[in-house]
Amino acid sequence: MQDKVFPVGSVPVPGDDELAELGVAAAAAAIRDGDITSESYAAALLRRARKNSDLNSFITTDESAVLTAARDADKARASGSRAPFLGVPIGVKDSYATRGLRTTLGVGALGSFVPAEDSDVVGSIRDAGGIVFGKVNLVEMSFGLTGHNSRYGQVKNPYGHDRVPGGSSSGSGASVGARLVPAALGGDTVGSIRVPASLCGVVGFKPTTGRWPRGGVAPVSHTLDTTGVLARSVEDCALIDQVVTEDAVAPRSSRSGLQGARFAYAPRQYMELIDPETEKHFDDALLRLRDAGAEVVEIDLGEDFSSLADRLTWNLFFRETMESVTEFLRQNNFPVSFDEIYNGLKPELKEVWSHLVLPGGQGYLSRESYEATLSVERPELQRRLGEVFTHGFDALLFPTTPCPAPLIEHRARFEVAGEEVSELFLAKNTVPASGAGLPGISIPIGLSAHGLPVGLEIDGAYGHDRELLDLARRMESVFDTLPAPA
């Protein structure tokens, strides 16, 4: 299926910028109350997406289908529908199967594939009245952190078009940050929701691993993968979480302040190498939280914490890819084999796969080491992070990424505080929560001197996602709202 562009209409709708600023909850309420129509809202977003096409945040859009769905939503509203997302367009990472809309996984071999069924999460969004706005760009097979895709192009950061947006949910972060959609679905294995959220100035929520359904979403690691969402407010993330998980018994807390909240931070583990501006924003964030009545305590997670988290998480990431992808393709009737995908990868990624993903590769993890990773190392990481919460802390705080968005031209290697690092360094701080399966959320806390967003990650106890979202909502109010990108 080729990308299609359909005319939205020659009569401009006033207030496009105002409409684009609406979040999911606000847009849904405005449509339900009759203040706006879904058609006018969708048309405004489509015009904005076309105007900002240079961001390369979408692989596929079908404007005609979006407008038809919006008109159907307006008819449903007139008939009395009160669906939670009625008439609200949402972006979908192109690793999610979407009925009737091509799904590429970011690879050329699937450039014309149109699934017959929705992934589970997309089905939940549609059942709640939501509209699939389009398929957002991603790194091939979700393998990368800088937004570079050799087939579908480099995604650009809305706050600096010469900067990376993060990855692998690159288009999700860019499209939400640029106000092209109020929210976008993403996937997170080592930080692929939280990294682009941080770099693009939006909120990114990684649920407890296994809490959100993963059916119909291309995997990397069945142990680490989780679906999730990027939006412009914690409230919108919480609303989408409630619909996707069918958690109808989770009313929002009436608490508004942070009096009595207890936060831990571990600079030895999360700030050993950090951009000076990012460090300053983080220190200022801690001061604001203290001023708001919270207790903030420095802790130490152990000298070998970082090496433990890095080793086990990346070992699982690479060791499980071939089995997970092969099974996914078979179960979901994707018309391509693992070998065909491998043979079509860009050279640098193909080299990584040949070394770490394919059995027989020099770095391929042995069965014995893999079992030890699952039975010894991962439980140890979970124990250490679990102690943070058994000791009475509500959350663990740290800078989501150790630096703002690097330049696209330096995406493979760049400097942080005078030291050269690789793109994997962008996930340095997000890796531990992934390895342990904890829920985490990144919220924007400011802009660098170059106007680039800085994110604060808040990790919660395993399975306590609703408490984490409520806490993050209260924390969000402590920080200034980021201006929209120019």
Q: Which residues are known catalytic residues? A: 93, 168, 192
3-state secondary structure of 39: helix
Q: Give the separation between CA 265 and CA 261, rounded to whole angstroms.
A: 13
DSSP-assigned states of every residue in 251-284: PPP---S-TT-EEEE-HHHH-SS--HHHHHHHHH
Single out the residue of 408, 406, 407, 388 nearest to residue 398, CA to CA: 388
> Does residue 169 have a cis peptide bond before it, meaning omega lies within 30 degrees of 0?
no
Q: How many CB atoms lie within 10 A of CB 278?
A: 26
Give the containing element (helix H, strand E) for 297.
strand 295-298
- The CA-atom distances, in angstroms, between 196 and each of 167, 184, 374 are 6, 12, 28
3-state secondary structure of 206: strand
**DSSP 8-class letter at 450:** T
User: And the tokens for 414?
Assistant: 């760049």
**DSSP 8-class letter at 409:** G
Q: How far apart are the first and last CA of the chain?
A: 33
Q: Give the separation between CA 72 and CA 38, rounded to whole angstroms.
A: 9
Q: Where are the beta strands (DSSP E) in 50-178?
A: 58-60, 89-93, 131-136
Q: Give the separation between CA 229 and CA 439, rounded to whole angstroms.
A: 12
Query: CA gyration radius for the chain?
Result: 21
> Does residue 175 have a cis peptide bond before it, meaning omega lies within 30 degrees of 0?
no
Task: Give the HSE-up count for residue 217: Cα atoms under 13 Å, Cβ half-sphere.
Answer: 26
DSSP-assigned states of every residue in 323-363: HHHHHHHHHTT-S--HHHHHHTS-HHHHHHIIIIISTT-TT
Q: Give the separation between CA 338 and CA 319, rounded to whole angstroms.
A: 15
- The CA-atom distances, in angstroms, between 147 and each of 109, 367, 459 are 19, 32, 24
User: And the tokens for 375?
Assistant: 């039975």
